[in-house]
Amino acid sequence: MALKILKNDCTVCGACEAECPNEAISFKKGTYVIDPVKCTECQGQFDAPQCAAVCPADCCVAA
């Protein structure tokens, strides 16, 4: 149960990293990635996955 970032669409803006409640997103080798172990899809915390809600490129999707 986790989301992933479609690398080719990502603008590397970092908006998702700041919103993630679980510090699941980090900047690695020139792009942002989601750690599937830490990602909870925001369940129990927010109504919708925060990264997907803030992403301007709509590239945070179900893994």
Question: Using only C-alpha atoms, what is the Rg of the chain?
Answer: 10
State the minimum distance, in angstroms, from the CB of residue 37 to another protein: 23
**Binder of residue 32, out of another protein, ligand SF4, none (CB less than 5 to 8 A by kind):** ligand SF4
40 binds, among another protein, ligand SF4, none (CB under 5 to 8 A by kind): ligand SF4
Binding of residue 23 to another protein (CB under 8 A):
no
Structure tokens at 59: 């590239």
- Is there binding between residue 53 and another protein (CB under 8 A)? yes
Among 11, 26, 62, 63, binds ligand SF4 (CB under 6 A): 11
- CA dist 9 and 37 (Å) reads 23
Total residue length of the chain: 63
